[in-house]
C-alpha cells in the first residue's frame, strides 16, 4: 500500500505522519523480564536490556509503513557504563580521601571531557539508528563540541544565565546540522533571536508564577494565626511555585522547544518537519503518568513511556515533495561499517 | 511464500519481493521481474526478534533488509527453515513469565530491604577502619556545633560528676565500645542525647535539667552506648546510601521528590529497629549494674512530655523512633 502511495506522490507535496505501534502491555512484558535479568546479573545485563528497549521504541515508530531500527552493540554500551562507573568511583574515593583538591580535579576532568562524551554519544546513537536499511550518522567535530558545550556553557555561567538561549541554540544546531540520513543532511534554521524570544516568554511566566505563589503563601500565612505563620507562608509559597514550575512550565518549555527546533529543520533538499506538540498534551500525559506510577508503586512505568512515545510520534510529521524513496546510503555503509575510522569511535556508548 | 518489502541498503526505495524457502536457502524473488534477487543461508542472516507490532525485520548479510507485515507467514517460513528463537525473546512475550518476573522482583526487593541491606551495611561497617568512623563523627559534631549546638553552661564539676558516674557503670559483658561524652546546650534541639559514628555521645544541658534523678541520665547514656556498640550511626548512613540509590534507580526518572519521600519512609523502619536494639542494650546494662530498666522508661516518658508541646504525634510509618508507649512496654520484659 505504501509503495503505490509514495509513487503516486512524486512531484506533489505530501505529509507523512509518524505513528507508534507499541502498547504498554507489550512493553511491560519486555521491560519486566529484562529488569529481572539485569537485577540477577548485578546490572551487567542492563546493557542488553537497553538495546531491547531502544529496539522496541525504534521499530514501533513507523514512517510511511517502515519502522526505524537500532543496531547498538551491548558490549559497547557496557564499556561506556564501566567508564562512567569508574569515574563515579574515582569521585567517591576523592571524596573519602578528604582532599578537596582531588575532588575538584575529578570534577574538572569530567567537565573538560564532557564535550567529547556528548559527541561520542551523538555519534553512537546516530550511527546505530537506521530506517529502510540506511543508517544515520553524525559528523560534528570535536572542536565544535568544545565550542558549543564548554565555551557557550562557560559564558552562560559567567553571565548568570543571560547567554543560556545562545548556548542552547548552538547546541541544538550542533546536534542537527551535523546529522545525516544516508547522504542527506539535516539543517536547523532557528535563530538565536527565536531562542531568546522563547526564553523571554518563559521568564514572563516564571515572574507571573512567582507573584501567584507569593500571593498564595501570603494568603495561607494569614489563615494560620500562630507564631510560625510567616515560615508556614513562605513554605506554602515555595511549594506552590515548585508545583506550578514542575507541572506547567516544564511541559510548556519542552513543547515550545521541540516545536521551535523541528519546525525549522529540514532534511536534504525537499523535506521539512512539522512538530505540533502541545504543552497541555504533555501536561495531561505527565500528570496521569505520575498518578499511575504512584498508584502502582512504579509498575505503570512501561505504559507511561509508551504513552509519551505515542504522543510525540503522532505530533511529528515529514512534509516531502518527492516522496521518501530517493535517499542514498552514505559511502561508508558499503564497506559494512567496518572502516577503521568507524571502528575507533563506534566501540563505546556514552549515551546515558 | 511471504510478501516483503526489500531494501538493498543503497537507497530507501522499496521493492516488493516474495520470500521462500528453497533447497535450504532463503530466496528473495522480485515480483515485478520474476527474477531471483538474493539467496542466503539462514545462519548468514539476522532475524530481528519480535518486539511489539511494527513490521518484522530480516537483516541480510553485507547489507539489505526485508520488512515483513505478514507475521504468521514469516513465523511459518522461519519454522520451516529451522530458526530457533532465543529464550529471552520468547520469554518477553509470555504474560505468565512477565507476571512471575514482577512477583520475583517484588520478592527480591522485599527480601533485600528486610535482610539484604542490613546485612550488607553491617558487613561494610565492620570492615571500615575505626579512624574513618571517628573522622565522620568529628566532622558531624563540627557541623552541629556550627548550626545547632552551643557550649554547655553546666558547671564543670557537674559535668565531671556525670562523666565519672557513667564511667563507673559496667557495660554488658563483652560489649564495651569506646565512648567520649560531650556536653552541649541547645535551645533549638531541646532535651536530647545522640550518638555519632566512632564513639562520640552528645548530651544536652536541657536533658540534664529535665531529669529528676541522675539515674535517668545514666539510662539515656546507656541507650546511646548501645548505639555505639552496634555501630548504628555508620550502619544507618550506609543503609541510607543503599536504599537511596535503589529508590532513585526505580523512581528517580519520574520525580526526585517522590524518590526522596519513599526512601525516608523506608529508612524510618531501620531507624526504629535500631532504637529498639539500643533500648534492650540499655536495659541489660542497667540490670548488670543493679539498676532498674525502669529508669529508662521514666526518662523516655519525661522526654516525650517535654517534646509533646512541640510536635503532635508523628505517624508511626514516618517516625524514626518507635512510640514511647511501645518502648516502655518492651522494657517491662526486662524488669
**B33 shares its domain with B182:** no
To the nearest whole angstrom, how far is the Cα of A29 from the nearest Cα of chain B?
5
Dist CA A67 CA A57 (whole Å): 10
Test B92 with A98 for CB contact under 8 angstroms: no
Nearest CA in chain A to B63: A336
pLDDT tens per residue across span B17-58: 999 988 889 999 998 888 899 999 988 999 999 888 889 999
Domain range holding A119?
A: 71-189+337-352
User: Do A81 and A183 sit in the same domain of this protein?
Assistant: yes
Residue A352 pLDDT class (50, 70, 90 cuts) = very low
Is B151 a member of any domain?
Answer: yes
* pLDDT tens sequence across A158-169: 999 999 999 999
Q: Which of A62, A298, A326 sits opposite B54 (nearest CB)?
A: A62
Q: Nearest-CA distance from A313 to chain B in Å?
A: 14
In terms of average pLDDT, the best of A101-110, A179-188, B233-242, B294-303 is A179-188
Any idea which of A134-138, A238-242, A333-337 has the lowest mean pLDDT? A333-337
Q: How many domains does chain B have?
A: 2
**Residue-wise pLDDT tens digits, A244-256:** 777 788 889 999 9
- Domain boundary (A206, A223, A253) is at A253
Q: Residue B33 gets which letter from DSSP?
A: T
- Contacting residues of A for B94, CB less than 8 Å apart: 29
How many domains does chain A fold into?
2
Alpha-carbon span B75 to B82, nearest angstrom = 10
C-beta of residue B254 within 8 angstroms of C-beta of residue A290: yes
Residue B322 C-alpha cell reads as 518507635
Among residues B68, B86, B104, the one where a domain terminates is: B86
Cα B275 to Cα A175: distance, rounded to the nearest angstrom? 54
Identify the residue with better confidence: B257 or A134. A134
Do residues B73 and B135 share a domain? no
Predicted confidence (pLDDT) at residue A47 exceeds the cutoff of 80: yes
Residues 193-212 of A with CB under 8 A from B: none
How many Å lie between the alpha carbon of A298 and the closest alpha carbon of chain B?
7
Q: Which residues in chain A are closer than 8 Å to B251, comparing Cβ atoms?
A: 293, 298
All residues of chain B having their beta carbon less than 8 Å from the beta carbon of residue A326 are 11-13
Output the CA–CA distances (angstroms, integers) from residue B144 to A19, B2, B9, in the order listed. Answer: 57, 74, 67
Give residue for cell 528463537.
Answer: B85
Chain A residue with minimal CA distance to B132?
A: A96
Q: What distances in angstroms separate CA B270 from CA B175, B226, B235, B247, one per listed residue?
A: 22, 15, 10, 15
pLDDT at residue number B325: 80
Q: Which pLDDT value is given to residue A227?
A: 66
CB nearest B54 (choices: A36, A60, A334): A60
Interface test with A, best of B51, B103, B188, B242 (most A CBs within 10 A): B51
The answer to whether residue B96 is domain-embedded is no
Crossing angle of helices B214-229 and B256-288, in 10° steps, is 120
Judge whether residue A268 has pLDDT over 60: yes
Do A175 and A78 share a structural domain?
Answer: yes
Closest alpha carbon to B316 in B268, B280, B275 = B268
**Interface mutation target, options A96, A129, A133, A292, chain B, most CBs of B under 10 Å:** A133
Which residues of A, range 14-73, sit inside 8 Å of B by Cβ? 21-23, 26-30, 32-37, 39, 52, 55-56, 59-62, 65-67, 69
Please tell me the distance in Å from B91's CA to the nearest CA on chain A.
Answer: 7
Whether residue A24 has pLDDT greater than 60: yes
Query: Model confidence at A173, in pLDDT bands (50, 70, 90)?
Result: very high
Element (H, E) at B15: strand B15-22
Partnered with residue B7 across adjacent β-strands are B65
Quote the pTM value.
0.83
> With an 8 Å Cβ cutoff, are A27 and B52 in contact?
yes
* Together in a domain, B179 and B60: no
Band (pLDDT 50/70/90 cuts) for residue A338 is: very low
Residues 6+ apart with CB under 8 A from A192: A165, A166, A169
The answer to whether the CB of B16 falls within 8 A of the CB of B31 is yes
By the 10 Å C-beta count (0-12 exposed, 13-18 middle, 19+ buried), A203 is classed as exposed
Amino acid A341: pLDDT: 39
The answer to whether the Cβ–Cβ distance between B251 and A298 falls below 8 Å is yes
For residue range B268-290, what is the model confidence (pLDDT) as tens digits? 889 999 999 999 999 999 999 99
* One domain for residues A128 and A141: yes
**C-alpha triplet B86, B89, B91: angle, nearest 5°:** 105
CB contact under 8 A, B52 and A3: no
> What domain range includes position B139?
129-332
Q: Is residue A244 assigned to a domain?
A: yes
pLDDT of residue A307: 96
**Whole-number pLDDT of residue A336:** 36
User: How many A/B residue pairs have CB atoms within 8 Å?
Assistant: 136
Angstrom distance (rounded) from CA A284 to CA B302: 51
Same domain for B171 and B299: yes
Give pLDDT, residue B315.
52
Which residues numbered 280-309 in A keep a CB inside 8 Å of some CB on B? 289-290, 293-294, 298-299, 301, 304
- Residue linked to cell 559535668: B159
pLDDT of residue A7: 44
Find out whether A182 and B12 touch, Cβ atoms under 8 Å.
yes
Q: What is the pLDDT of residues B92-117, one digit of tens each?
A: 888 999 999 999 999 999 999 999 99
Residues A33, B92: C-beta atoms closer than 8 Å: yes
With a pLDDT cut of 70, the percent of chain A lying above it is 89
Residues of B with a Cβ under 8 Å from any A Cβ are: 5, 7-14, 16, 48-49, 51-55, 57, 62-65, 67, 88, 91-95, 97-98, 101-102, 104-105, 108, 132, 135, 250-251, 254-255, 258
CA separation for the pair A119, A345 (Å, rounded): 10
Where among A204, A230, A253 does a domain terminate?
A253
CATH number at residue B71: 2.30.29
| End residue of a domain, out of A208, A238, A253 | A253
Mean pLDDT (chain A, rounded)? 85
ipTM: 0.82
- Contact check, Cβ <8 Å, A133/B95: no
My answer on whether A221 and A132 are in the same domain is no
The predicted structure's pLDDT at residue B261: 83
Whether A132 and A208 map to the same domain: the answer is no
* Residue-wise pLDDT tens digits, B221-259: 999 999 999 999 889 989 998 998 888 888 766 677 778
Residue B67, SS3 per DSSP:
strand
* pLDDT tens figures, B167-213: 999 998 888 888 999 999 988 878 889 899 888 999 999 999 998 99
User: What pLDDT is recorded for position A77?
Assistant: 85
Taking CB atoms and an 8 Å limit, are B63 and A336 in contact across chains? yes
In a domain, B109, yes or no: no
- Does residue B112 lie within any of the structural domains? no
How far is residue A3 from each of residues A329, B28, B139, measured CA to CA in Å?
20, 18, 71
Q: What is the pLDDT of residue B333?
A: 67
Segment A144-158 mean pLDDT:
94
Phi and psi torsions of B323, nearest 5°? -60, 140
Grid cell locating A261:
527546533
Which of A59, A184, A288 has the highest number of chain B CBs within 10 A, making it the mutation to test binding with B? A59
| Together in a domain, B144 and B272 | yes
Quick check: A328 and B54 CB within 8 A? no
Pinpoint the alpha helices (H) of A142-228: 142-145, 152-158, 164-177, 192-223
Judge: A52–B51 Cβ closer than 8 Å, yes or no: yes
Q: How confident is the model at residue B82 (pLDDT cuts 50, 70, 90)?
A: confident
- Angle formed at CA A57 by CA A319 and CA B248, multiple of 5 degrees: 125
Domain presence at residue B103: no
Amino acid at each position: 500500500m505504501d509503495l503505490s502511495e509514495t509513487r503516486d506522490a512524486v512531484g506533489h507535496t505530501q505529509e507523512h505522519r509518524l505513528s507508534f505501534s507499541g502498547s504498554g502491555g507489550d512493553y511491560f512484558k519486555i521491560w519486566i523480564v529484562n529488569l529481572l535479568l539485569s537485577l540477577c546479573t548485578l546490572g551487567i545485563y542492563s546493557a542488553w536490556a537497553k538495546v531491547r528497549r531502544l529496539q522496541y521504541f525504534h521499530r514501533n515508530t513507523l514512517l510511511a509503513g517502515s519502522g526505524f531500527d537500532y543496531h547498538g552493540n551491548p558490549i559497547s554500551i557496557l564499556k561506556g557504563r564501566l567508564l562512567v562507573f569508574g569515574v563515579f568511583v574515582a569521585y567517591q574515593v576523592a571524596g573519602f580521601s578528604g582532599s578537596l583538591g582531588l575532588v575538584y580535579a575529578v570534577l574538572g576532568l569530567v567537565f573538560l571531557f564532557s564535550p567529547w562524551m556528548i559527541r561520542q554519544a551523538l555519534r553512537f546513537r546516530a550511527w546505530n539508528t537506521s530506517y529502510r536499511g540506511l543508517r544515520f550518522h553524525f559528523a560534528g567535530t570535536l572542536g565544535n563540541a568544545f565550542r558549543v558545550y564548554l565555551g557557550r556553557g562557560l559564558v552562560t555561567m559567567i553571565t548568570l544565565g543571560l547567554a543560556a538561549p545562545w548556548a542552547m541554540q548552538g547546541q541544538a544546531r550542533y546536534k542537527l546540522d551535523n546529522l545525516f540520513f544516508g547522504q542527506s543532511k539535516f539543517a536547523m534554521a532557528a535563530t538565536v533571536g527565536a531562542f531568546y524570544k522563547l526564553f523571554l516568554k518563559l521568564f514572563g511566566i516564571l515572574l507571573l508564577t512567582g507573584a501567584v505563589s507569593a500571593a498564595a503563601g501570603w494568603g495561607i500565612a494569614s489563615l494560620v494565626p500562630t507564631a510560625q505563620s510567616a515560615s508556614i507562608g513562605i513554605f506554602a509559597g515555595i511549594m506552590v511555585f515548585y508545583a506550578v514550575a514542575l507541572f506547567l512550565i516544564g511541559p510548556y518549555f519542552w513543547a515550545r522547544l521541540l516545536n521551535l527546533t523541528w519546525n525549522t529543520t529540514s532534511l536534504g533538499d525537499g523535506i521539512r518537519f512539522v512538530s505540533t506538540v502541545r504543552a497541555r498534551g504533555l501536561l495531561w500525559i505527565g500528570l496521569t503518568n505520575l498518578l499511575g506510577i504512584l498508584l502502582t508503586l512504579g509498575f505503570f512505568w512501561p505504559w507511561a513511556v509508551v504513552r509519551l512515545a505515542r504522543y510525540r510520534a503522532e505530533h511529528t510529521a515529514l512534509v516531502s515533495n518527492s516522496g521518501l524513496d530517493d535517499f542514498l546510503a552514505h559511502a561508508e555503509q558499503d564497506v559494512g561499517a567496518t572502516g577503521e575510522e568507524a571502528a575507533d569511535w563506534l566501540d563505546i556508548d556514552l549515551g546515558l | 511464500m511471504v510478501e516483503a518489502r526489500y531494501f538493498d541498503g543503497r537507497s530507501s526505495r522499496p521493492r516488493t519481493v516474495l520470500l521462500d524457502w528453497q533447497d535450504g536457502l532463503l530466496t528473495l524473488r522480485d515480483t515485478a521481474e520474476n527474477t531471483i534477487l538474493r539467496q542466503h543461508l539462514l545462519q548468514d542472516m539476522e532475524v530481528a526478534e519480535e518486539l511489539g507490532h511494527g513490521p518484522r525485520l530480516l537483516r541480510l548479510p553485507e547489507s539489505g533488509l526485508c520488512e515483513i507485515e505478514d507475521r504468521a507467514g514469516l513465523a511459518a517460513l522461519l519454522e520451516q527453515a529451522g530458526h530457533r528463537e532465543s529464550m529471552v525473546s520468547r520469554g518477553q512475550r509470555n504474560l505468565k513469565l512477565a507476571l512471575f518476573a514482577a512477583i520475583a522482583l517484588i520478592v527480591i526487593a522485599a527480601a533485600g530491604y528486610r535482610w539484604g541491606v542490613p546485612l550488607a551495611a553491617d558487613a561494610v561497617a565492620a570492615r571500615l577502619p575505626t579512624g574513618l568512623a571517628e573522622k565522620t563523627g568529628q566532622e558531624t559534631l563540627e557541623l552541629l556545633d556550627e548550626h545547632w549546638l552551643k557550649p554547655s553552661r553546666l558547671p564543670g564539676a557537674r559535668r565531671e560528676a556525670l562523666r565519672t558516674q557513667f564511667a563507673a557503670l559496667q557495660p554488658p559483658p563483652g560489649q564495651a565500645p569506646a565512648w567520649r561524652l560531650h556536653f552541649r546546650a541547645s535551645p533549638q534541639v531541646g532535651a536530647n542525647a545522640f550518638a555519632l559514628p566512632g564513639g562520640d555521645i552528645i548530651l544536652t544541658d536541657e536533658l540534664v535539667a529535665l531529669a529528676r534523678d541522675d539515674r535517668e541520665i545514666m539510662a539515656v547514656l546507656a541507650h546511646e552506648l548501645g548505639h555505639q556498640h552496634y555501630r548504628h550511626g555508620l550502619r544507618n548512613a550506609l543503609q541510607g546510601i543503599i536504599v537511596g540509590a535503589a529508590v532513585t534507580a526505580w523512581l528517580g526518572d519520574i520525580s526526585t521528590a517522590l524518590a526522596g519521600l519513599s526512601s525516608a519512609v523506608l529508612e524510618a523502619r531501620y531507624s526504629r529497629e535500631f532504637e529498639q536494639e539500643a533500648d534492650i542494650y540499655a536495659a541489660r546494662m542497667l540490670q548488670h549494674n543493679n539498676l532498674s530498666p525502669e529508669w529508662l522508661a521514666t526518662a523516655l516518658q519525661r522526654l516525650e512530655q517535654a517534646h509533646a508541646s512541640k510536635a503532635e504525634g508523628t505517624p508511626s510509618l514516618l517516625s524514626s523512633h518507635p512510640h514511647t508507649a511501645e518502648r516502655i512496654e518492651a522494657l517491662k520484659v526486662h524488669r
